């Protein structure tokens, strides 16, 4: 199989980067994501994991991928896939506004980009949260990291994180 790439963008900020799918390490996840593209929505900056931005989308895979190529310590440029039930993200402590309220959905998928070092996937409510590393940024991480820092400082309101085939 030839290499496949996705473009991630913060559209309001006009910033994007390109990531290579890790078909050899997370084949089931890569197929699920690739077949569902484009994906995206409101962007959030992590509270717990540290240097992470993500979007939440309804489950899209015919069957959720197994925990392939897992990590609890993602590195800069890692794209991770997480699956949550509506009860995990349904508490007010997460701070999702009404438009992002995922209660009532059976599966919520978190598509994340880690843009800097020193991340640890642990959640005070649930403990360890391993993610599937399904891609790695190969171009534009520096620009995206600057935009992510701005998002952290200035806020995410009105910003979206989108994943498209490159």
- Spacing of C-alpha 53 from chain mean position: 6
Predicted pLDDT of residue 99: 42
Q: Which residue has the tokens 């593209």?
A: 37
Q: Which of 25, 16, 40, 14 is nearest to 135 (CA)?
A: 25
Q: Which of 26, 27, 34, 32 is nearest to 6 (CA)?
A: 34
Residue range 5-165, CATH number: 2.40.100.20
Residue-level pLDDT, tens digit, the chain, 166 residues: 799 999 999 999 999 999 999 999 999 999 999 999 999 999 999 987 899 999 999 999 999 999 999 999 999 999 999 998 766 665 565 555 444 444 455 788 999 999 999 999 988 778 899 999 999 999 999 999 999 999 999 999 999 999 999 9
Taking CA atoms, 17 is separated from 55, 67, 92, 144, in Å, by 16, 25, 32, 6
* Residue 38 burial by Cβ neighbours in a 10 Å radius (0-12, 13-18, 19+): exposed
CB atoms within 10 A of CB 165: 11
Predicted pLDDT of residue 98: 43
DSSP state of 65: P
CB atoms within 10 A of CB 63: 8
**Distance from C-alpha of 164 to C-alpha of 33, rounded to nearest angstrom:** 10
């Amino acid at each position: 199989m030839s290499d496949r790439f996705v473009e991630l963008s913060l559209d309001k900020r006009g910033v994007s980067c390109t990531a290579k799918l890790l078909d050899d390490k997370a084949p089931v996840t890569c197929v699920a994501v690739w077949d569902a593209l484009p994906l995206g929505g409101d962007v959030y900056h992590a509270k717990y994991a540290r240097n992470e931005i993500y979007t939440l989308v309804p489950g899209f895979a015919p069957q959720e991928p197994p925990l392939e190529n897992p990590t609890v310590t993602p590195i800069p440029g890692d794209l991770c896939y997480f699956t949550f039930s509506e009860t995990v993200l349904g508490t007010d402590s997460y701070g999702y506004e009404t438009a992002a309220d995922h209660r009532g959905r059976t599966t919520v998928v978190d598509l994340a980009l880690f843009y800097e070092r020193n991340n640890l996937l642990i959640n005070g409510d649930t403990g360890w949260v391993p993610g599937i590393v399904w891609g790695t940024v190969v171009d534009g991480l520096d620009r995206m990291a600057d935009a992510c820092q701005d998002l952290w400082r200035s806020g995410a309101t009105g910003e979206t994180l989108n994943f498209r085939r490159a």
